[in-house]
Amino acid sequence: MTLLTHSRLSARFGLTTPIALAPMALASGGALAGACARAGALGLVGGGYGDLAWTQREYTLALQAANTGRIGCGFITWKLDEDASALDWLLDLPAAQRPRAVMLSFGDPRPYAGRIAASGAALICQVQCMAQVPQAIEAGAAVIVAQGAEAGGHGLNALNGRATLTFVPELADWLAVHAPETLLLAAGGIADGRTLAAALVLGADGALVGSRLWATQESLAPQGAKELAVQTGGDGTARSAVFDILRRKSWPLPYDFRAIRNPLHRQWEDRIDALRADPEAARAVYDAAVAAGDFDAAHATVGEAVGLIHDLPGAGDLLGQIVAQARARLTRA
C-alpha cells in the first residue's frame, strides 16, 4: 500500500497516483494530458518532433483542461537539435504557466538541461539501456524513465533493447548507489493495475504509461487505430524501421518503431534495405491508407501491452481502475 500512497513521484509533483502520461507525439494532446492531471497523474503533452503551433495549441489546452499544476511536455531530443522553438516557447511562458516537467528522449539532454532547470521545470530523461544513464545524471535529471523494448512507438531496436522486467531493478540498484535522490519510472508494458504494482515492486517510483492511455477517448490517435488495438493481441506488434521509412522520419540508429504488425508492415519487414533503396511505391500506398483511415497499411502505434487493451474508456476512469487494481494486488501480496 505504501508503494502507492507514499510514492516519491507523487510527493515530488503533487500527484495522487504514481503515473505519468507518456508524451506520445500527436496522441498525447491537451485533452488527454488534462484528463490525466485531473485524475491525479502527471500529464505530459506529446511535443514530439517540436512542431511549434501544435505544441502551443495542445499545451495551452492542457493547462485549461487540467486546472492543476500537474502539466508538462516531452520532446524528441535529436529533433530539438534541429529546431528548439517549441521548447523555447514553453520555457519563456510566465512562471505560472511553465511546465512542471520537461521530458527528453532519444539524444543528449545536456544542451537543454540548464535552461530547463532555470525555468523551474524538472528534467525527466528517458533511457533505454544502462550506458545512457550517466549522461542523464550529468544533465541533472530529476527523474529517469527506464523504457523497455516492449513499449510502443520508438525505442531501442531488437539488437540493443532491454526488457522492462530486468531493466528497472538493475537501474534501481544503480541509482540507489550513484544517485539516490533521482526518481525512477518504468515504461514499456505498463497497462493495468498488475503491471503498475509490478513496476513498484521492482523498485520504480512510478510508471510512464503510453499504449494504454493512447487507447482512451481523449487520445488524439485515430479512432480506427484505437479500434484495431482493441482487437489485437500482444503477439500482434513488431519493432522495425518500416513505418519510419514510410513516414519519411529520419530516425538515427539504434532506434526503431513498434506498432501493430499490419499487412503493409509484413510485406516489407524482411526487406528493409529494399524499402530504404526504393520507398516511393510503398509510401504512396501508405499515404493513401492514412488519408482513407485504412489500418491495413496505416500505422497504429502501440506496444506489446496491446494485449491488455479491451476497451476505450475515458482516461480518468481508466486511471482510477488501474490504481484500484494495483492497490488490490499489493494488499494481497
d(CA 65, CA 106): 29
| Superfamily of the domain at 2-221+312-332 | Aldolase class I (3.20.20.70)
Contacts of 124 (CB under 8 A, 6+ apart): 20, 44, 72, 74, 101, 102, 103, 104, 141, 142, 143, 144, 145, 185
Position 1 scores a pLDDT of: 52
Does residue 4 have a pLDDT over 90? no
pLDDT in tens, 128-159: 999 999 999 999 999 999 999 999 999 999 99
Name the residue among 325, 315, 306 with its Cα closest to residue 41: 315
Q: What is the dihedral of CA 53, 155, 114, 141, to 10 degrees?
A: 130
Closest CA to 226 of 136, 318, 158, 159: 318
Average model confidence (pLDDT) for the chain?
96
Instruction: Give the CA distances from residue 65 to residues 36, 141, 218, 320, in Å, rounded to whole numbers and listed in that order.
Output: 10, 27, 11, 18
Residue 309: CB partners within 8 Å, gap ≥ 6? 191, 211, 212, 215, 229, 230, 232, 302
pTM summary value: 0.96
Evaluate whether 306 touches 232 at the Cβ level (below 8 Å): yes
- Domain locations along the chain: 2-221+312-332, 223-292
Question: How much is the average pLDDT of 327-331?
Answer: 93
User: Closest Cα to residue 44, out of 86, 88, 100, 128?
Assistant: 100
Q: What is the model's pLDDT at position 332? A: 87
Q: Alpha-carbon torsion 11, 17, 19, 24, what sign?
A: negative
CA-based R_g, the chain, Å = 19
Contact 32, 213 (CB under 8 A): yes
pLDDT at 286 over 90: yes
Residue 3 pLDDT exceeds 60: yes
Residue 226: pLDDT band by 50, 70, 90 thresholds? very high
Query: What's the pLDDT score for residue 151?
Result: 98
In the chain, the percentage of residues whose pLDDT exceeds 70 is 99
User: Tell me: the pLDDT tens digits for 83-130?
Assistant: 999 999 999 999 999 999 999 999 999 999 999 999 999 999 999 999
Identify the pLDDT of residue 120: 97
- Residue 202, pLDDT above cutoff 80: yes
Q: What residue has cell string 545512457?
A: 132
